[in-house]
Amino acid sequence: MTIKMQFPLTTLPTANEQAGVSPLTVTASGNSREYPELGSFDSGIFFLDVTAVSGTTPSLAVFFQGYSPISEKWHDIITFTPQTAVTSTVIAPVTASLPYQTYRTRWTVTGTTPSFTFSLGVIVSASESTA
Amino acid sequence: MAIQLPPNSTGSILDTRPENGRERQIVSVGDPLRTQPTRRPNSGRILYVNDFRSLNSSMWNDGVGSASRDTDIWFGGNPTLRLDPQGQSAGAVTNPGRTAATSGVVVKQRIHDGFRQKYGVEAWFRMTSTNLTSNTFFSMSIYNRDGAQAYHGRVWLDPNGNNQPMVARILDGTASAAASGGPGGSTAVYTPVLTSVSQNGAGTHTFYPASGRVDRAGGWHYVKMVVDFAALKYVSIQLDGEAVTDLSAYNMDVTTSTGFAGMHHSFELCATTTTRPRWVNLAHMVGTVED
């Protein structure tokens, strides 16, 4: 059978997921906590949505990254088109394979006093024997 | 002559006995066989098993960091669960506390119960990475709440240095209440109740690929703790191959809490510094009722 699971991908490293952690409001560049939970899955479909924007010429770039446990460096897997306004039409979901073991979300924010409220989520899937 | 075949995985037994000069088949169904591996084959009736063979389990981390299925480190033919605070610090704590530090990993299974029975949790664990023998606190807990107070049984699994005898220290309810001035304070007192044999830190058998350490075998410890929620007392503890230690003289710890009124079987991992990595792996966690 195919196992599918859903994850919000904007949990901050200091956040507790017992409290609501998505959507996330950011005013500066940063990254999420790490997600080794995705490491057992084969692929995912990713959904980006922007629900609030303020500032002068604000821009939000969102990246989904995989981790090299040997070099301890992060590699971009998905680069979303930079967002400058509230999502008016659905941003096309992005599918990606998940060959790494650990992942995270990174975002960069530019502009004058920029603020973005956004969510990035994923539905991951893998086949598993039920025997 | 009678023939009995061994039970299958569901406890079914195929038996025969002579009846009127012929062997007749008799099928009886008993309790399921005790799951393996365990060091206490006759202790408790199983409520659940988390062996991490599947992509997900019924456990969840409500602290920072992560608790995730680990297919690098295996035990008994199954993947394990890696606890990783991801470099977050719980501050200047000196023990696992009266309540779990959610600024570390708190990974748990929840079951509802009305303070009526004795419960046990057993598991295997491995000190996987470097950086675990100081400034790090790993513990196992069984606790419940009634809407006003929390009742904790917790054992701090203290490696006590590297290649030193591991010490099991329990959260001492009477001593913690005295030191805290009752259920509202935060001073936890841990009392050593059992010491295992040497070779209990990870030693050189660590797993941290970035540094070239890839010892996937490590060394696995066993722990089982039983508490009595009817009497609000500890019952017993076992660590590795040591004899089961009677804890009936110790009370569970009582703290003021309006949190979720349900029983928790949990493991906690926190640190006082942001040093990485700090990985502890769990395997074959079993929850039991012991009445």
Give the model confidence (pLDDT) of A67-98 as tens digits: 999 999 999 999 999 999 999 999 999 999 99
Determine whether B218 is exposed, middle or buried from the number of CB atoms within 10 Å of its CB (0-12, 13-18, 19+). Answer: buried
The predicted-structure confidence for B141-150, as pLDDT tens digits, reads as follows 999 999 999 9
CA distance linking residue B173 with residue A23, whole number of Å? 41
CA distance linking residue B188 with residue B176, whole number of Å? 5
On whether any CB of chain B is under 8 Å from the CB of A85, the answer is: no
Domain membership flag for residue A14? no
- Chain B interface test: which of A1, A32, A35, A37 (most B C-beta within 10 Å): A37
Q: Which domain holds residue A122?
A: 2-9+24-127
* Proportion of chain A above pLDDT 90, given as a percent: 91
- The per-residue pLDDT for B6 is 62
Above 80 in pLDDT, residue B21? no
**Residue B232: DSSP 8-state:** T
CA distance linking residue B277 with residue B113, whole number of Å? 36
Quote the longest CA-to-CA distance of chain B.
Answer: 77
How large is the ipTM?
A: 0.95
CA distance linking residue A54 with residue A25, whole number of Å? 11
- Residues B277/B283/B287/B291 CA torsion (nearest 10 deg): -110
* Proportion of chain B above pLDDT 70, given as a percent: 89
Number of domains in chain A: 1
Question: Can you give the CATH number for the domain in which A108 is found?
Answer: 2.60.120
Domain membership flag for residue A58? yes
Out of A5, A70, A126, name the one closest to residue B209 (CB): A70
Out of A34, A40, A71, name the one closest to residue B55 (CB): A40
Comparing CA positions, the residue from B289, B285, B287 lying closest to residue B76 is B285
CA distance linking residue B2 with residue B23, whole number of Å? 8
Q: In chain B, what residues touch A13 (CB-CB under 8 Å)? A: 64, 86-88
- The per-residue pLDDT for A22 is 87
Domain membership flag for residue A18? no
What the block records as the tokens of B100 is: 């779990």
Domain membership flag for residue A17? no
Domain membership flag for residue A97? yes
The residue of chain A with its CA nearest to that of B88 is A14
Comparing CA positions, the residue from B157, B144, B120, B96 lying closest to residue B236 is B120
Contact at CB, B88 and A18, closer than 8 angstroms: no
At residue A130, φ and ψ (nearest 5 deg) are -100, 5
Residue A59 contacts by C-beta under 8 Å, 6 or more apart in sequence? A82, A83, A84, A109, A110, A111, A114
- Of all helices (H) and strands (E), which one includes residue B69? strand B66-75
What the block records as the tokens of B237 is: 């503890």
Residue A35 contacts by C-beta under 8 Å, 6 or more apart in sequence? A7, A9, A102, A103, A104, B66
The predicted-structure confidence for B71-122, as pLDDT tens digits, reads as follows 999 999 999 999 999 999 999 999 999 999 999 999 999 999 999 999 999 9
One-letter amino acid at A51 equals T
**Mean pLDDT for chain B overall:** 90
Domain membership flag for residue A19? no
- The per-residue pLDDT for A129 is 77
On whether any CB of chain B is under 8 Å from the CB of A41, the answer is: yes
- The per-residue pLDDT for A94 is 98
What the block records as the tokens of B98 is: 């009266």
Helix (H, G, I), strand (E, B) or coil at A39: helix
Contact at CB, B66 and A13, closer than 8 angstroms: no
- The per-residue pLDDT for B201 is 67
Q: In chain A, what residues touch B62 (CB-CB under 8 Å)? A: 16-18
Residue A94 contacts by C-beta under 8 Å, 6 or more apart in sequence? A45, A46, A48, A78, A80
**Mean pLDDT for chain A overall:** 96
Q: Confirm if B90 and B63 have CB atoms less than 8 A apart.
A: no
On whether any CB of chain B is under 8 Å from the CB of A86, the answer is: no
- The per-residue pLDDT for A113 is 98
Judging by DSSP bridges, how do beta strands A94-97 and A43-68 pair with one another?
antiparallel
Domain membership flag for residue A45? yes
Helix (H, G, I), strand (E, B) or coil at B173: helix
Domain membership flag for residue A15? no
pTM of the full predicted structure? 0.90
The residue of chain B with its CA nearest to that of A125 is B55
Contact at CB, B209 and A18, closer than 8 angstroms: no
Lowest mean pLDDT among A52-61, A99-108, B160-169, B216-225: B160-169
Q: What does the angle CA A57 – CA A59 – CA A65 come to, to the nearest 5 degrees? A: 170
Q: Nearest CA of chain A to the CA of B72: how many Å? A: 10
